[in-house]
Amino acid sequence: MSYKDLYTSDSPKISTGGKESNIYVLGIPFDFTSSYRPGSRFGPDSVRQAYWNIEIVDRELNVNAENIPIFDLGNISPIMSVDGMIDIVKKVAGEAFAQGKVLGSIGGEHLITLPIASQLKDATIVVFDAHFDLRDELYGLKVNHATFFRRLLELKQIKAVHVGAHAYLDEELQFARNLGVTVISQESLKNDRRFLLDALPDNPLYISVDMDVLDPSCAPGVGNPEPSGLTYNELFNALRSLKGKKIVGFDVNEVTPPYDPSGITSIAAAKLFSILVILSWVGING
């Protein structure tokens, strides 16, 4: 033990364990295809800073995330192209999954989910988002944060459940139905917190949360806010109902600090991240 070990830290990394931990954390500071309000590249470190400073014990699940070993890999290196980000994240996520790690990622825009989820086999992806992200293209770009879910489904290698969409085109809903996506409205969650659990198939879950699924009064700092979304407890309770399910990975995305002057969106994302860490831990350890 040296003074360096005693008095310096890796902050803002949020490791509570070493490389042997079952849960890895990855920051993906990427927002190149943002269509409205850019800045989610600042999300990973902002969410980490909040994670350090809020209480991450969940009284409903009765688990303290501080006691769960997680290993923070840091952020992917700055990259100046969509293809480059997709290539790098595929490799890092693929390696983590091959090692049997649960990978918890912090975006970045929602496009980060495409390279991660493309590395999954025999899993169901559960997406929380005010939007479907099922457009075929946006502003001439085929691969961007409004098309990521369509590009993922076109791979035809993963079952999908979508929760909370209320800002979408008719053709997006039709496309979701045609491809067999289970679509769960936010009204269903408001009325019954177990609705989601009952709708899920049996295989392991990958959970992706676009922070814009929350109402902008709860989460104003996102790239594409859509009024009339979920409250904190509607979202958190739906997730808490998944306690005991096996989770192979998760991500929290679209936190956009330049539009989040009070920091409340990063704080909500950190709380959400802690719930997902707890659920992953319970899924591994029972």
Respond yes or no on whether the N-terminal peptide bond of residue 244 is cis (omega within 30° of 0).
no
Structure tokens at 234: 């509607």
Residue 162 binding Mn ion, by CB under 5 A: no
* Residue 109 binds to Mn ion (criterion: CB under 5 A): no
Instruction: DSSP letter for 76, please.
Output: P
CB neighbours of residue 136 within 10 Å: 13
Q: Which is nearer to Mn ion, 58 or 129 (CB)?
A: 129
The dihedral of CA 202, 273, 190, 129: what is its sign? negative
> Which residue in the block uniquely carries the two structure tokens 């825009």?
109
Binding piece for Mn ion, criterion CB under 5 A, among 26-34, 191-199, 210-218, 272-280:
210-218
We find the least distance from the C-beta atom of residue 121 to Mn ion, in angstroms, to be 26
129 forms part of the interface with Mn ion (CB under 5 A): yes
- Does the protein bind Mn ion through residue 212 (CB under 5 A)? yes
At its nearest, how many Å lie between Mn ion and the CB of residue 21? 30
Contacts with Mn ion: how many residues (CB under 5 A)?
4
Bridge partners (DSSP) of residue 28 are: 107
Report the nearest approach of Mn ion to the CB of residue 102 (Å).
24
- The yes or no reply on residue 251 touching Mn ion (CB under 5 A) is no
Q: At closest approach, how far in Å is the CB of 171 from Mn ion? A: 17
- Smallest gap from residue 262 Cβ to Mn ion (A): 21
Q: What is the CA radius of gyration of the chain?
A: 17
Angstrom distance (rounded) from CA 75 to CA 80: 15
Q: Is 210 in the site for Mn ion (CB under 5 A)?
A: yes
Q: What are phi and psi of 250, to 5 degrees?
A: -160, 160
Which residues of this protein are in contact with Mn ion, per CB under 5 A?
129, 131, 210, 212
